[in-house]
């Protein structure tokens, strides 16, 4: 019996365990507008489903156009005449530091709510609050950069220009469901430090966890109207993107929706940051230490049950070590426990939604139909008890994958990795770059100079050597179909600034 199967046998009473959890929000009908929870003007509700059991455990208001108007008006007024944009960056940073403390104090409820919304194991979500707090603290540390005076002489001696970094205005922030807390926070924290005001829309499957962050913002003293949250469908997101009183849009999600948003913002000449899909490669060099690769493999190639934009789901192995790489990847993934995401030992949870579950299973079928060989997984996972109704796909490794196969080209967003073969470094690099995307990537290799040279040849926004992690201080963004613009770092802050040059004699 594999470790996975042994783990799966001990999952009794999952539904009862969930009902007993003390969570601040389950069934709610309010939006956060102008500093308070305000009842929705409509009666429609959207269910919140636990992907581990398929059970509905909450619901939120399906926001109306009127709700959105109120939220945008509150943000507009707070920007045009409220205190926030008029505080100094250091004063705003002091509030951001208090927000970080408030988030950390809510760590357990954030983790459990997130896990129940999207099935991310608690081994993943227990770090969400600390990570969100650390993002707020990082952007708070950039206040001196905003405060430093930037005076530039005219090259022809005519005088000098004072370059001001003004907040860009009212921002519409739209997040996806895979990391519902942090993918909103990486937009919110720089926007707030810059002096912007915001209206946020979380994804429909994950509308509850960010409410806890809103309580943290209020407790930290973020003034009314500065940060507003409305729940609702993609239709509401579209209305937010196009709203005439919005000055900037930031979005993380799928490439097709990103294209629509880019088109709308193009028409409106509205600045936009888009963090979209990926199909990144892990390039294994012939001298790679496979033991060390095994230690980081799941985090780098299948993090969050494969629902992470930057993970390297295409593993490129040199011909001479192909079988060794297939054995390592197969045994590492087969040994990682899949089960109830509330169990701290669980590594692989369910897919986040029923539709994502179906999509992943269709990709597995397409892999088989195109001739790839599943060395582990390759089907639904049968977990027993209440989890039988959950959206579990057995973590799957495909060997003998060819570059043209759909599983090699398209973002699956599930627990599926493909292993391709290459001959010689030039073919390896060419394979890594043979994609429409360009978000993440890894090079595994013992000779760090050769690994760095290979990393430099990869056409991607971020690449790690022998591991992958995003660094709050370094720009993160995609090339090609993976997006436009950057988040994190001073570059991520610049996305919320509008520059003004004041020329003087
Ligand atoms: P979407 O791109 O549809 O959703 C992301 C966010 O955009 C959600 O808040 C969604 O709201 C909102 N939205 C949907 N339509 C519009 C619109 N026209 N205008 C403005 N906002 C809109 O992602 P899906 O949930 O459909 O996931 C599909 C695929 O996207 C995944 O399989 C994966 O490949 C990719 N993806 C990539 C992510 C990444 O991190 N880069 C994250 C999530 C998904 P609502 O939820 O209410 O529809």
Interval 159-193: pLDDT, tens = 999 999 999 999 999 999 999 999 999 999 999 99
- Bridging pattern class, strands 55-61 and 45-50: antiparallel
Please name the residue whose Cα sits nearest to atom 47 of ligand 1.
233
d(CA 330, CA 398) in angstroms, rounded, equals: 9
Kindly state if the Cβ of 253 falls inside 6 Å of ligand 1.
yes
Side-chain-facing half-sphere of 383: CA atoms under 13 Å: 32
How many angstroms does the Cα of residue 84 sit away from the middle of ligand 1? Answer: 30
Q: 435 — alpha (psi -120 to 50), left (phi > 0) or beta?
A: beta
Please name the residue whose Cα sits nearest to atom 40 of ligand 1.
309
Kindly state if the Cβ of 203 falls inside 6 Å of ligand 1.
yes
d(CA 116, CA 221) in angstroms, rounded, equals: 29
Kindly state if the Cβ of 288 falls inside 6 Å of ligand 1.
no
Q: What is the pLDDT of residue 410?
A: 97
What is the per-residue DSSP string for 131-169?
HHHHHHHHHHTTHHHHHS--EEE-TTSS-EEEEEEEE--
Interval 414-453: pLDDT, tens = 999 999 999 999 999 999 999 999 999 999 999 999 999 9
Look up residue 355 and give its DSSP letter: H
Q: For residue 347, give Cα distances in angstroms to 187, 200, 334, 335, 461.
A: 28, 30, 11, 10, 27
Grade residue 277 by pLDDT with cuts at 50, 70 and 90: very high
What is the b/e burial string over 341-358, where b = at least 16 CB atoms within 10 angstroms of the residue's CB?
bbbeebbbbbbbbeebbe
Catalytic residue among 275, 301, 411, 487: 275
What is the per-residue DSSP string for 447-498?
SHHHHHHHHHHS-SS--EESS----TTS-B--SGGGEES-BSHHHHHHTTEE
Angle at 45 between CA 41 and CA 50, to 5 degrees: 145
Please name the residue whose Cα sits nearest to atom 22 of ligand 1.
234
d(CA 319, CA 323) in angstroms, rounded, equals: 8
Catalytic residue among 301, 309, 411, 487: 309
- From 61, 177, 254, the mutation candidate for ligand 1 (largest count of ligand atoms within 8 A of CB) is 254
Interval 117-145: pLDDT, tens = 999 999 999 999 999 999 999 999 999 99
Interval 370-402: pLDDT, tens = 999 999 999 999 899 999 999 999 999 999 999
Closest atom of ligand 1 to 261 CA is 19
Higher local confidence (pLDDT), 3 or 69: 69
Kindly state if the Cβ of 260 falls inside 6 Å of ligand 1.
yes
How many angstroms does the Cα of residue 255 sit away from the middle of ligand 1? Answer: 8
Q: What is the pLDDT of residue 93?
A: 98
Closest atom of ligand 1 to 238 CA is 19
Q: What is the pLDDT of residue 187?
A: 98
Please name the residue whose Cα sits nearest to atom 28 of ligand 1.
254
Q: Which helix (H) or strand (E) holds 47?
A: strand 45-50
Q: Please report which residue ranges of 206-321 form alpha helices under DSSP H.
A: 209-219, 234-242, 255-268, 290-301, 303-306
Mean per-residue pLDDT, 88-111? 98
Q: What's the chain's average pLDDT?
A: 96
Q: Are 359 and 29 in contact (CB under 8 A)?
A: no
Q: What is the pLDDT of residue 44?
A: 97
Kindly state if the Cβ of 413 falls inside 6 Å of ligand 1.
yes
> Quick check: 75 pLDDT over 90?
yes
Using N-to-C axis directions, what is the helix angle for 448-457 and 425-432, rounded to 10°? 40
Copy the structure tokens of residue 291.
């033991």
Kindly state if the Cβ of 347 falls inside 6 Å of ligand 1.
no
Kindly state if the Cβ of 495 falls inside 6 Å of ligand 1.
no
Q: What is the pLDDT of residue 8?
A: 44
Q: What is the pLDDT of residue 166?
A: 98
Q: Please report which residue ranges of 316-432 form alpha helices under DSSP H.
A: 322-335, 354-369, 406-409, 425-432
d(CA 16, CA 52) in angstroms, rounded, equals: 13
Interval 213-222: pLDDT, tens = 999 999 999 9
Closest atom of ligand 1 to 356 CA is 32
How many angstroms does the Cα of residue 175 sit away from the middle of ligand 1? Answer: 8
Does residue 66 carry a catalytic annotation?
Answer: no
Closest atom of ligand 1 to 264 CA is 19
Is residue 245 packed enough to be buried (19+ CB in 10 Å), middle (13-18) or exposed (0-12)? middle
Query: Is the sign of the CA dihedral 168, 173, 179, 182 positive or negative?
Result: positive
Kindly state if the Cβ of 34 falls inside 6 Å of ligand 1.
no
Kindly state if the Cβ of 411 falls inside 6 Å of ligand 1.
yes
> Quick check: 196 pLDDT over 60?
yes
How many angstroms does the Cα of residue 280 sit away from the middle of ligand 1? Answer: 19
d(CA 72, CA 79) in angstroms, rounded, equals: 10
Mean per-residue pLDDT, 52-63? 97
Kindly state if the Cβ of 257 falls inside 6 Å of ligand 1.
yes
> Quick check: 7 pLDDT over 60?
no
> Quick check: 2 pLDDT over 70?
no
How many angstroms does the Cα of residue 176 sit away from the middle of ligand 1? Answer: 5
Copy the structure tokens of residue 442.
């890894």
Grade residue 12 by pLDDT with cuts at 50, 70 and 90: low
Kindly state if the Cβ of 234 falls inside 6 Å of ligand 1.
yes
d(CA 329, CA 420) in angstroms, rounded, equals: 12
Which residues, at least 6 apart from 243, have a Cβ–Cβ distance to it below 8 Å? 68, 72, 172
How many angstroms does the Cα of residue 70 sit away from the middle of ligand 1? Answer: 24
How many angstroms does the Cα of residue 426 sit away from the middle of ligand 1? Answer: 35
Q: What is the pLDDT of residue 13?
A: 86
Mean per-residue pLDDT, 185-203? 98
Kindly state if the Cβ of 68 falls inside 6 Å of ligand 1.
no
> Quick check: 5 pLDDT over 90?
no
Distance of CA 213 to the CA centre of its chain: 16
Copy the structure tokens of residue 369.
């139909």
Grade residue 6 by pLDDT with cuts at 50, 70 and 90: very low
> Quick check: 3 pLDDT over 90?
no
Does residue 171 carry a catalytic annotation?
Answer: no
Kindly state if the Cβ of 206 falls inside 6 Å of ligand 1.
no
- Bridging pattern class, strands 442-444 and 464-465: parallel
d(CA 143, CA 164) in angstroms, rounded, equals: 14
- Which residue, chain included where needed, has tokens 């060390």? 292
Mean per-residue pLDDT, 234-243? 98
Closest by Cα among 57, 109, 17, 101 to 341? 17
């Amino acid at each position: 019996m594999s470790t996975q199967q042994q783990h799966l046998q001990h999952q009794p009473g999952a539904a009862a365990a969930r009902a007993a959890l003390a969570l601040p929000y389950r069934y709610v009908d309010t939006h956060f507008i102008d500093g308070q929870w305000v009842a929705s003007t409509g009666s429609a509700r959207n269910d919140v489903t636990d992907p581990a059991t398929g059970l509905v455990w909450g619901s939120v208001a399906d926001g109306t156009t009127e709700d959105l108007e109120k939220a945008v008006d509150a943000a507009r007024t707070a920007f045009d005449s409220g205190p926030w944009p008029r505080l100094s960056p250091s004063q705003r940073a002091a509030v951001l530091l208090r927000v970080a403390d408030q988030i950390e104090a809510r760590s357990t409820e954030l983790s459990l709510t997130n896990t129940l919304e999207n099935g991310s194991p608690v081994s993943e979500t227990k770090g969400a609050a600390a990570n969100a707090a650390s993002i707020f603290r990082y952007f708070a540390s950039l206040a001196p950069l905003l405060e430093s005076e930037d005076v530039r002489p005219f090259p022809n001696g005519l005088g000098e220009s004072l370059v001001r970094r003004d907040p860009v205005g009212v921002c519409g922030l739209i997040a996806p469901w895979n990391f519902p807390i942090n993918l909103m926070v990486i937009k919110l924290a720089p926007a707030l430090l810059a002096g912007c005001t915001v209206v946020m829309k979380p994804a429909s499957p994950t509308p509850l966890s960010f409410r806890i962050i809103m309580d943290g913002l209020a407790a930290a003293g973020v003034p009314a109207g500065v940060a507003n949250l409305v729940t609702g469908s993609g239709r509401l997101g579209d209305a937010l993107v196009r709203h005439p009183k919005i000055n900037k849009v930031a979005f993380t999600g799928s490439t097709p929706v990103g294209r629509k948003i880019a088109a709308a913002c193009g028409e409106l000449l509205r600045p936009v940051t888009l963090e979209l899909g990926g199909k990144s490669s892990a390039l294994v060099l012939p001298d790679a230490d496979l033991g060390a690769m095994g230690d980081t493999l799941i985090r780098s190639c299948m993090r969050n049950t494969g629902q992470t934009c930057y993970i390297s789901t295409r593993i490129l192995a040199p011909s001479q070590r192909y079988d060794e790489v297939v054995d390592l990847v197969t045994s590492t993934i087969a040994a990682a426990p899949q089960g109830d995401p509330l169990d701290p030992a669980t590594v692989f949870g369910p897919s986040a939604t029923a539709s994502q579950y179906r999509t992943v299973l269709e990709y597995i079928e397409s892999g088989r139909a195109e001739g790839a060989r599943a060395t582990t997984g390759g089907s639904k996972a049968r977990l027993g008890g209440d989890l039988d109704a959950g959206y579990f796909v057995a973590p799957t490794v495909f060997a003998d994958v060819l570059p043209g196969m759909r599983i090699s080209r398209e973002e699956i967003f599930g627990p599926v990795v493909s292993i391709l073969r290459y001959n010689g470094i030039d073919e390896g690099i060419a394979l890594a770059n043979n994609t429409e995307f360009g978000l993440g990537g890894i090079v595994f290799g013992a000779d760090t100079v050769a690994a760095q040279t290979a990393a430099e040849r990869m056409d991607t926004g971020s690449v790690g050597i022998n591991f992958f992690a995003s660094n709050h201080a370094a720009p993160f963004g995609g090339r090609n179909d993976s997006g436009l613009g950057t988040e994190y770092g001073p570059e991520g802050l610049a996305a919320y600034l509008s520059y003004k040059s004041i020329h003087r004699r």
